[in-house]
Amino acid sequence: MHQTSCIMFTVTNHYCLLSLGMWFLVEGIRLMMATSFPYTFQSQEPDERLKVFIVMGWIIPVFIVGSAAGVGFPLDIYMKPQPLYGECHKYASQSLPIPKYDRCWLVPGTLIFNSTVVAPLAFVLFINLIIIVKTTHVIFNSRRMRNRGENPGTEDALRSAKSFVLFFLMLGGTWILAFFTGTGNDISNTVLMYFHSLVNGLQGIVVFLLYCIMDDIIRQKLVPCTSEFKSRSGQQHNPIHPEANSGAEVVIPKRIVRNVMKQFE
């Protein structure tokens, strides 16, 4: 039971890690197309674009993980059995209650680990860094054009730097810290791993802030919903004078939800 659950956990974790990296790449490509090639991006069908993104984000990791597991498990190079397990089963006539794997993860440093974990994530981060620099440059030039070719001021530079930091967090730039773990002593590696886990653990909050709280379009779409909620609350607290809120705008919640979801297409 332990062996099966450990294998399932390793394969699932491997797939989720690669899928996360590929969706970082998908978002980077989407961002670059929307900023650098806006006319081409708007002329494309959203459904066709979504199909390509789904293949990149969900299907490609399946082939990578499936190939690695299909080759690695028969050769015992995908996950490393603990030495005690092999020695006990070599001389014992029956199975002993010793788990085969003491670590539910791939064997670091092997060809399978480097080619199916390190290389794909390094490729994604490299492409996204190029996209981040390119997109920040486009935003900086657009501000300069709005200023009619004048030299950019401190405010424009600060806004461009803010865009760079936000794109860096949004497109998985913090995963660079993972490549520096294991390069120092035990204390520095432990501190770096905890810092890496903390930063990436907060990435979901950063995405929520960027795509929901700080997005002007979504906030504008949610204002009618807030007004309707206040209107209904006022009617409940003041049932004697329902005409006091007769001028409030009434919006169907389902329509608001559809308008909000369109911002993510």
Terminal-to-terminal C-alpha distance of the chain:
42
Q: Region 88-115: what's the mean pLDDT?
A: 77
pLDDT in the model for residue 152: 58
- Confidence band (pLDDT; 50, 70, 90) for 246? very low
pTM, two decimals, is 0.74
Chain-centroid distance, C-alpha 203: 8
> Domain ranges in the chain?
2-131, 219-262
Q: Is the pLDDT of residue 260 over 60?
A: no
Structural tokens at position 126: 């490299």
- Confidence band (pLDDT; 50, 70, 90) for 119? very high
Q: What are 186-220's pLDDT values in tens digits?
A: 788 888 888 888 888 877 787 787 777 776 777 77
Q: Region 42-52: what's the mean pLDDT?
A: 87
Q: Which residue has the tokens 């991006």?
A: 41
Q: Region 37-51: what's the mean pLDDT?
A: 85
- Confidence band (pLDDT; 50, 70, 90) for 78? very high
- Confidence band (pLDDT; 50, 70, 90) for 184? low
- Confidence band (pLDDT; 50, 70, 90) for 5? very high
Average pLDDT, the chain: 78
Alpha carbon distance 246, 124 (integer Å): 54
Alpha carbon distance 116, 67 (integer Å): 9
- Judge whether 139 and 160 are in contact, CB under 8 Å: yes
- Confidence band (pLDDT; 50, 70, 90) for 182? low
Q: Which amino acid is at 123?
A: F
Q: Answer with the residue of higher pLDDT: 202 or 259.
A: 202
